[in-house]
Structure 1
């Protein structure tokens, strides 16, 4: 009859199912956990499970449901003054808006997340959001702004020796460079040099766009 303990374990079983990408099972476990948490008035625990249900819906590309779950989580986080949790949920709402191609909303959510992360000194978390803000600028074809955000992100990841995240941002830099108009590229390279990007990386970008086309 230990419902509190059962709710915690239901939640963890949901996490396991989610890792296996069995989203139907994950949702079922989370809902069993949530039913107890809501009945017992455990708002903090409920907010965590709302967030996970949002992640499941997002994986299923049901963005309306994802936003609904995230907003339920956020309402509690904001009311309880849980800024760390709110920052995570703001970021996820930004991802949902970005998937919907509502770039104004995505940028707004990311900036709300970033304000907390920077104020709390969460540099690595801030760098993740810098990268997403760069992705939004890229979608808007504003490549100078794109590179400004990407360079802020990569400088943090390099300092943290986070090779995985650094690689992701380098690929983002290369992709945006290839998509930028030729008259913009020198400015991007200058931004990269000022930020201390490796010369070999910048040279590889230049050579990649200067290669003759093989199309007939």
Structure 2
């Protein structure tokens, strides 16, 4: 599919332009967007989504309430997702809020379809609030999403989509509680998510929750439980060849080992995580592991090595305009003995 889309891109794009000029259905856009998404080309996906949104602004209001209105929402959803992927959270938030407004103007769709579209949008707004570290807002959005899923989603479809969405929301509510250091609340939400993922055999998603349960168990000093959860997560990541996630869990195993004073084990896990991040060009994520290697070196009074690794982490955070983590890293560097 990717090969043929690349081969026929010009024809598909010209077809999309004709559809927009005639103000007809734009299913071709969904094909092209999936092509960019599968190739992780979010800048091209963003450019395409902006072009389609701009063209749809000229549509007469009377055709924007039925099927065409639903497609306008779908384009906005993908535009918001692209903004989110490139970490332009404010523009992503504006786009998702626009979707909430548009859903109230739609006609010809069922109450359930309308509500479930809202639930998905509230979930994404919660995710954005979480990234902006506005945890009360994030919790509020997730709660709104959860209430809709529980009320309208029980017979949503014959696939696992509903169960995935419900588990995802419980999982994210666990992450918010974890950020607020409400660890028992986090554990409860993660367990609700895991129960759904186990029941419906959502194996890949199980690893995400095992990973987070490992983090919480470590905070609660339930060390054997933490080790078990991390190892199960790693097993699943390896099974699916999910190198990015495998690097994340290896990174957390490094933190776990360092906390137990197993410094050589910690270094081994960090270097495994870093090797994966470098090989697969997860550049931003390298910063976290460089930071932990710096802290590990500092704890062993190897301040030269600590400073080198922390400077690498700081450089990446500055490059990505992550002021929150950049400021934390600067403070740690300033406290290091000369």
TM-score interval for Structure 1 and Structure 2 normalised by the shorter chain: 0.7 to 0.9
Q: Corresponding residue for 1:9?
A: 121
Aligned partner of residue 138 in structure 1, secondary structure: helix
Alignment of 1:39-50 (within 5 A): 39=151, 40-41=153-154, 42-50=162-170
Q: 2:22 aligned with 1:22, yes or no? A: no
Q: CA deviation at 1:49?
A: 0.9
User: Structure 2: any 5+ residue segments left out of the alignment?
Assistant: 1-110, 155-161, 310-336
TM-score by length of 2: 0.51
Q: Which moved more, 1:152-161 or 1:61-70?
A: 152-161
Q: Corresponding residue for 1:125?
A: 245
Contact 1:37 1:43 in 2 (8 A): no
Aligned partner of residue 147 in structure 1, secondary structure: helix
Q: Corresponding residue for 1:108?
A: 228
Q: CA deviation at 1:96?
A: 1.1
Contact 2:297 2:305 in 1 (8 A): no
User: Structure 1: any 5+ residue segments left out of the alignment?
Assistant: 183-199, 206-213
Q: Corresponding residue for 1:177?
A: 297
Q: Corresponding residue for 2:282?
A: 162
Taking structure 1 as reference, are residues 158 and 22 closer, same or farther at Cα in structure 2, changes over 3 Å only? closer
1:55 to 163, 169, 175: 175
The higher relative CO (CA closer than 8 Å, separation ≥ 6) is in: 1
2:210 to 86, 90, 95: 90
Q: Corresponding residue for 1:189?
A: none
Q: CA deviation at 1:17?
A: 3.0
Q: CA deviation at 1:125?
A: 1.0
Distance in structure 2 (CA, Å) of the matches to 1:169 and 1:68: 28
Distance in structure 1 (CA, Å) of the matches to 2:256 and 2:133: 27
Give the length in aligned residue pairs: 189
